[in-house]
Structure 1
Amino acid sequence: MTSWVPGACTLPTVDQPLRQAEFDDVFAESGRCVERTADTAVRVEFEPAAAVAARLADLAMRECSCCSFFGFTLRMSDGRLLLDVEVPAAHLPVLDALAARATSAIPGARA
């Protein structure tokens, strides 16, 4: 799979594969679909469960601490748990790689 860790990431190199694995795991275990909502934005729908929402909130907060350019919005809407991920245009390759990882991890997902 494509690595999406940007050069600007301040997470120690040894921890980067572990963080990627955390995203891969939550995509595979609870992800439902991936949607490109704009050139610089992706929406991932997850199983609408409190434990999944808590896991995503924790992961998003930790990711923003090392890659501050990410914008994460987690919300419930019409019984759906949605994670919107936005980046500045300069970080589009990172978003593309994240979307590709999510799509490949979620059974039957298409971007």
Structure 2
Amino acid sequence: MSTTDWAPGACTLPTAERPFRVAEFDALFAEHLRRATRVDLTTLDLTLAVAAHETAADLTARETECCSFFHFELTPYGDQLDLRITVPPAHVAVLDALSERYG
């Protein structure tokens, strides 16, 4: 997936910064992802190591600033961190692209 596929027109992150944001998601997944479940077309549940809490909170907050259609819900649970990501139906392709990052 190229970084141009990553962000729809609704994203306000400058184009030059997009590869760095993709790299941040890649690093989060590579270092902390334990499980991923595609609940439905608009919902993705990720289980991360609890050590990822600060990184995940910062990254999802910054992503929400530029792509307001994302909804991120972080829930610590024992030694893990549950991250639910939802998008409206018009942005399913973005969730698909995000899902490909950990595959």
Tell me the TM-score normalised to structure 1 length.
Answer: 0.85
Of 13, 16, 27, the match for 2:15 = 13
Tell me how far apart the structure 2 counterparts of residues 59 and 78 of structure 1 sit (CA, whole Å): 21
Tell me how far apart the structure 1 counterparts of residues 40 and 58 of structure 2 sit (CA, whole Å): 25
Q: Deviations over 1:39-98 (max 9, x none)?
A: 20001111122xx10100000000000000000000013542111100000000000110
CA RMSD for the aligned pairs? 1.3
Tell me how far apart the structure 2 counterparts of residues 7 and 21 of structure 1 sit (CA, whole Å): 20
Tell me how far apart the structure 2 counterparts of residues 6 and 101 of structure 1 sit (CA, whole Å): 16
Tell me how far apart the structure 2 counterparts of residues 55 and 80 of structure 1 sit (CA, whole Å): 14
Residue identity matched to 1:66: C
Matched, 1:75 2:78: no
Moved segments of 4+, more than 3 Å: none
Structure 2 residue matching 1:60: 3-state secondary structure: helix
Structure 2 residue matching 1:8: 3-state secondary structure: coil
Residue 27 of structure 1: aligned partner: 29
Counterparts in 2 of 1:37 and 1:78: CA distance versus 1, 3 Å:
farther
Aligned-pair identity in percent equals 47
Tell me the TM-score normalised to structure 2 length.
Answer: 0.91
Residue 66 of structure 2: aligned partner: 66
Q: For 1:88-99, what aligned pairs fall within 5 Å after superposition?
A: 88-99=88-99
Tell me how far apart the structure 2 counterparts of residues 79 and 20 of structure 1 sit (CA, whole Å): 26
Paired residues in the alignment total 101
Q: Which one has more relative contact order, counting CA pairs under 8 Å at least 6 apart?
A: 1
Structure 2 residue matching 1:6: 3-state secondary structure: coil
Residue 6 of structure 2: aligned partner: 4
